[in-house]
Structure 1
Amino acid sequence: MTGLPVVRGGTGRRGTRPAPEPPDGPPHAPPGGGVGDARRPDIDDLYHHSRLDLVRLALFLVDDVPTAEDVVQDAFAALLRRHGPELDAVDAPEAYLRTSVVNAARSVLRRRRTVRAHVPERPGHGPSADEYVLLREEHRTVLHALRRLTRRQREVLVLRYWSGLTEIQIADTLGLSPGTVKSTASRALTALRRHLEVSP
């Protein structure tokens, strides 16, 4: 397994839909302007540069597009409320947002478990239309297999193979030791391969 599948596109929280990214298009330009621009990126730059990647990260954690978008929107809103638009007091805003998204995703999953313990899931529930637009069949297969991992295993794999973080960065994001990250990733990959082999 060389990496989790790339999910492209997305819908805005207010119902707007950004234009899909070309499959082989250039990567996002770094926030802060062109070459030689030393201006520190503000929250607008960060939103433009990072929002879609964070929505894709959240989608692998919470399984559905509207919730993923809400998680990311709330993370940006909390960052703005706490630090203002200039972000002068934040050393690593993107790392801050990733941690916020992971923590918010955990809260979503905890609430879902509580609700499902009292209200059975409706029969016939399936992916939303937006999810079918964003995810090809092989992507949905991987997402289905990820759902069968433990929360920590899923977080470590998504951060490693989707977000491309190092073991140290994952440890900082999740509050774990690098050794725990490494061992969790190894067990998670073994479990994921097993689930993919038996997927229909």
Structure 2
Amino acid sequence: MDADEQGRATVPPAVSAPDAVDLRDLYQLHWRYLVRLATLLVDDVASAEDVVQDAFLALHKRAGALREPDAALAYLRTSVLNLSRSVLRRRRVARKHLTVAEPEAGPSADHDVLLRDEHRAALQAVRTLPRHQREVLVLRYWSGLSEREIADTLGISTGSVKSAASRGLAALAKILAKR
């Protein structure tokens, strides 16, 4: 504490804290977008919703540690991508160690309504691509991210983004030409 000219204690002015992340606004504005992104990656709406919920929970825990509150959406997008990868890894391990054959879960009742016929074939072809190419194409064409944003999200160079996009598009062209 400091003292003024008359010896009274004074409190130093508060240092302004950086803008806090408004999780409520982020959730309301971007929840659907993030669930759609996760659904394209994990191919299951319920798992996609869990992934997005976990991403928001992780952001809530780390909101004070973000250097730039404006980077919260990028943090969420990267979290959704990484959590989607984890879901797919757990599924592969579970299938590998599955002792009793269980029927595959079918698509939800509204799945066909949401996807028009002409998109179904393209989406199916995208799902056959290697993970890296699939992620780059989904982030580029569905999410509309720039090459720099994709590189930052995936932690790779922009050259790798360009290469994966080019190879992915070439593979899609071959797959769709056969249909």
TM-score tier (shorter): 0.7 to 0.9
Tell me the residue number matched to 2:96: 117
Tell me the residue number matched to 1:101: 80
Tell me the residue number matched to 1:17: none
Structure with more helix by fraction: 2
SS class of match (2:139): helix
Q: Give the ranges of 4+ consecutive aligned residues of structure 1 lying more than 4 Å apart after TM superposition.
A: none
**1:124–1:88 Cα change, 3 Å:** closer
Is 1:172 matched with 2:152? yes
Tell me the residue number matched to 1:59: 39
Tell me the residue number matched to 2:129: 149
Q: State the AA in 1 paired with 2:78.
A: T
Equivalent pairs counted in the alignment come to: 159
1:83/1:89 contact within 8 Å kept: no
1:141-172 per-residue CA deviation (whole Å, 9 max, x = no partner) reads: 22211111000000000000011111111110
SS class of match (1:92): helix
Q: CA RMSD in A?
A: 2.2
Percent identity of paired positions between Structure 1 and Structure 2: 62
Is 1:75 matched with 2:59? no
Higher relative contact order (CA 8 A, sep 6+): 1
TM-score, normalising length: structure 1: 0.72
**Rounded Cα–Cα distance in structure 2 between residues aligned with 1:78 and 1:140:** 33
Q: 1:121: Cα distance to partner? A: 6.2
Q: State the AA in 2 paired with 1:137.
A: D
Larger Rg: 2
Any stretches of 5+ residues in structure 1 without a counterpart? 1-38
Q: 1:91: Cα distance to partner? A: 4.0
Is 1:131 matched with 2:111? yes
Tell me the residue number matched to 1:185: 165
2:136/2:165 contact within 8 Å kept: yes
**Rounded Cα–Cα distance in structure 2 between residues aligned with 1:184 and 1:112:** 24
Tell me the residue number matched to 1:50: 30
2:51/2:83 contact within 8 Å kept: yes
**1:124–1:45 Cα change, 3 Å:** closer
**1:124–1:96 Cα change, 3 Å:** closer
Q: 1:64: Cα distance to partner? A: 1.3
**Rounded Cα–Cα distance in structure 1 between residues aligned with 2:101 and 2:80:** 25
Q: 1:41: Cα distance to partner? A: 6.0
**Rounded Cα–Cα distance in structure 1 between residues aligned with 2:107 and 2:178:** 21
**1:149–1:81 Cα change, 3 Å:** same
SS class of match (2:123): helix
